[in-house]
């Protein structure tokens, strides 16, 4: 078991997250139980290295299902990602407030949609906020309509 955990930890740090996930699957097939370190390594790799938040959340759910308790590393991985998103939002908002033409929420939304990115409530709220601040209310209504058609619903 220790060798699998060590390898998963190492390959995640080397940004070879796909290989780490494959090794985790091998562990599952061989009925080798993963521990907190294994899950933390996978969460780090998925969330911080690759930005795959949904997969990282699913991995956390697997960890909890295995009756393992998140530790300080688990929380730090989540905090690191949260801070990256928070910093990106701050930069985005500052650029929008300056009227920077490089930030166009409508174009950003289209690009995200074309890349099949699943937008969550926070993303929609950020886009709506930017559109409102730039006075583009018709785009806001279109965005809200799109949000209601998607699986995400507006905050009430």
Instruction: Note whether residue 31 is domain-resident.
Output: yes
| Same-domain check for residues 61 and 114 | no
**Helix orientation angle between 2-13 and 17-29, rounded to the nearest 10 degrees:** 160
Residue 54 has what pLDDT? 80
Name every residue whose Cβ is closer than 8 Å to that of residue 88 and which is 6 or more positions away in sequence.
Answer: none
In total, how many domains does the chain have?
2
Q: How far apart are CA 124 and CA 144, in angstroms?
A: 8
Residue 81 has what pLDDT? 60
Domain span including residue 18: 2-73
Cβ neighbourhood burial of 50 (10 Å; 0-12, 13-18, 19+): middle
Domain boundary among 30, 58, 73: 73
| Same-domain check for residues 13 and 65 | yes
Instruction: Note whether residue 117 is domain-resident.
Output: yes
Residue 52 has what pLDDT? 83
Residue 133 has what pLDDT? 72
| Same-domain check for residues 6 and 69 | yes
Buried b (16+ CB within 10 A) or exposed e, 62-73: bbeeeebebeee
pLDDT mean by block of 10 residues, the chain; 156 residues: 87 91 92 92 87 83 86 72 55 54 59 63 72 77 77 52
| Same-domain check for residues 53 and 6 | yes
| Same-domain check for residues 109 and 53 | no
Assign residue 68 a region (left: φ > 0; alpha: ψ between -120 and 50; beta: otherwise).
Answer: beta
Residue 156 has what pLDDT? 45
Residue 102 has what pLDDT? 47
């Amino acid at each position: 078991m220790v060798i699998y955990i060590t390898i998963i930890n190492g390959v995640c740090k080397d940004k070879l997250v796909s290989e780490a996930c494959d090794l985790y699957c091998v562990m599952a097939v061989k009925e080798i139980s993963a521990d907190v370190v294994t899950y933390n390594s996978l969460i780090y790799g998925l969330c911080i290295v690759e930005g795959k938040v949904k997969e990282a959340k699913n991995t956390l759910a697997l960890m909890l299902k295995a009756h393992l308790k998140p530790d300080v590393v688990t929380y730090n991985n989540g905090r690191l990602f949260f801070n990256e998103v928070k910093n990106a939002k701050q930069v985005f908002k500052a650029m929008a407030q300056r009227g920077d033409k490089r930030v166009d929420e409508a174009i950003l939304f289209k690009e995200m949609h074309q890349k099949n990115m699943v937008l969550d409530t926070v993303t929609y709220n950020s886009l709506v906020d930017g559109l409102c601040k730039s006075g583009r209310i018709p785009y806001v209504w279109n965005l809200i309509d799109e949000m209601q058609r998607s699986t995400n619903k507006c905050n009430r």
